[in-house]
Amino acid sequence: MVSFRQPEPEIDPCREEKARRSKSRADVQAIMHSHQASHPAGEGKQAPSGRPAKLALVIPTLREATNILPLLGRVRTALESCRIPYEVIVVDDESGDGIEKIVAGVSAEDPRVRLIVRHGERGLAGAVLRGWAETDATHLGVMDADLQHPPELLPRLWAAMEAGADLAVGSRYASGGSLGGWKAWRHLLSRIAVWMTLPVQRSGRRARDPMSGFFIVRRECIDGVALQPSGFKILLEILARAHLRSVVEVPFTFGHRYAGSSKAGARVAFDYLRLLLRLYRRKGRTPSRPEQEAARSTLENHHGAIHN
């Protein structure tokens, strides 16, 4: 259970919303730091942090019950072939479609598959951060639940990490990758959206597919970076703000949604533009005093913030 600091009484709803977001961000960071501090090194291959390498793959789900069983089967087969310690964390936002029972069935046979249900919360980025916060893994991954991301690419992403990458991205735009059967107008919009990210990405560490939802990052590269739990495109923020030395893209062909319906829509486009604006504004600027204090207090308060 996570303990919350007592919030200041507020009357302005915008300030309340901002405070809620920043608290939720601080809690996620607090959990991540606490895991890093409390899990001692064991056997196995070591990450640069000195701890044995372990992958936690988060699968965010919203009404994906029809996809989850075939997906988990393929993911487990792919990860077995990597011969590494791993866990798969499904983070569901109260879909109420029976996914809990399905994942519980898989967990009973393989406890490395876990389910976290968030109550009263929505948002892809927040779900991913929550999953990452609940693991001690040295390597943090994410993929969609609808089989548009082929699980068979996971060993290649892992190989890139083992070869020293800080971030390995399943890429539709790297040479050899493709958007699959996308219509021309969607293709064009996507190209424009990627082009708009160029100023916020760092030179030498740019990704051609900065909006991919399929990647693995070293935990130490995002530790201490306050990532936004709102929004859909967490990779772009990582590219703009994490402590990355090397980014590798592994091409793949974006598949068709296996079953269920898309959650991407106008709201996602709006959130994307808002994120871009925030990253443009922040680029090259020294963090403000409140931002510095928020980061410092996150670091200072993480011990003792969790009661397991």
Ligand X SMILES: Nc1nc2c(ncn2[C@@H]2O[C@H](COP(=O)(O)OP(=O)(O)OP(=O)(O)O)[C@@H](O)[C@H]2O)c(=O)[nH]1
| Chain positions contacting ligand X, by CB under 6 A | 60-62, 64, 91-93, 122-124, 127, 144-146, 148, 213, 257, 262-264
Return the SS3 of 166.
Answer: coil
- Nearer residue to ligand X within complex by CB, 85 or 126: 126
Return the SS3 of 197.
Answer: helix
User: How many Å apart are CA 154 and CA 116, to the nearest integer?
Assistant: 22
Phi and psi angles of residue 117, each rounded to the nearest 5 degrees, phi first: -110, 120
Angle at 206 between CA 203 and CA 207, to 5 degrees: 170
Binding partner selected for residue 145 from Mg ion, ligand X, none, CB under the kind-specific 5 to 8 Å limit:
ligand X
User: Which of 210-235 are b and which e, b meaning 16 or more Cβ less than 10 Å from the residue's Cβ?
Assistant: bbbbbbbbbbbbbeeebbbbbbbbbb
Region of 285 (left: φ > 0; alpha: ψ -120 to 50; beta: rest) is beta
146 near Mg ion, rule: CB under 5 A: yes
Q: Name the β-bridge partners of 52.
A: 46
Nearest-approach distance from CB 173 to Mg ion, in angstroms = 17
- Nearer residue to ligand X within complex by CB, 67 or 138: 67
Nearest-approach distance from CB 124 to Mg ion, in angstroms = 10
- Nearer residue to ligand X within complex by CB, 73 or 164: 73
Nearest-approach distance from CB 89 to ligand X, in angstroms = 11
Residue whose CB is nearest to ligand X in the complex, by number: 262
Binding partner selected for residue 134 from ligand X, Mg ion, none, CB under the kind-specific 5 to 8 Å limit:
none
- Nearer residue to ligand X within complex by CB, 84 or 103: 103
Amino acid at the residue 151 = P
Question: What count of residues does the chain have?
Answer: 308
- Nearest Cα to Cα of residue 220 among 250, 248, 245: 245
Binding region for Mg ion (CB under 5 A) out of 13-21, 147-155, 161-169, 274-282: 147-155
Nearest-approach distance from CB 261 to Mg ion, in angstroms = 9
Binding partner selected for residue 124 from Mg ion, ligand X, none, CB under the kind-specific 5 to 8 Å limit:
ligand X
Binding partner selected for residue 61 from Mg ion, ligand X, none, CB under the kind-specific 5 to 8 Å limit:
ligand X
- Nearer residue to ligand X within complex by CB, 156 or 263: 263
Restricting to residues 188-247, which ones interact with Mg ion according to CB under 5 A? Answer: none
Nearest-approach distance from CB 119 to ligand X, in angstroms = 12
- Nearest Cα to Cα of residue 229 among 24, 64, 50, 9: 24
148 near Mg ion, rule: CB under 5 A: yes
Binding region for Mg ion (CB under 5 A) out of 98-106, 136-144, 180-188, 225-233: 136-144
Binding region for Mg ion (CB under 5 A) out of 71-79, 137-145, 198-206, 272-280: 137-145
User: How many Å apart are CA 223 and CA 97, to the nearest integer?
Assistant: 34
- Nearest Cα to Cα of residue 61 among 134, 139, 115: 115
Question: Which single residue is written with the structure tokens 């730091």?
Answer: 33
Question: Which single residue is written with the structure tokens 């699980």?
Answer: 151
Contact criterion met (CB below 8 Å) for 58 and 91: yes
Nearest-approach distance from CB 262 to Mg ion, in angstroms = 6
How many residues bind Mg ion, per CB under 5 A?
A: 3
At what angle are helices 65-80 and 99-109 packed, to 10 degrees?
A: 20
- Nearer residue to ligand X within complex by CB, 238 or 305: 238
- Nearer residue to ligand X within complex by CB, 87 or 146: 146
Residues that bind Mg ion (CB under 5 A): 144, 146, 148
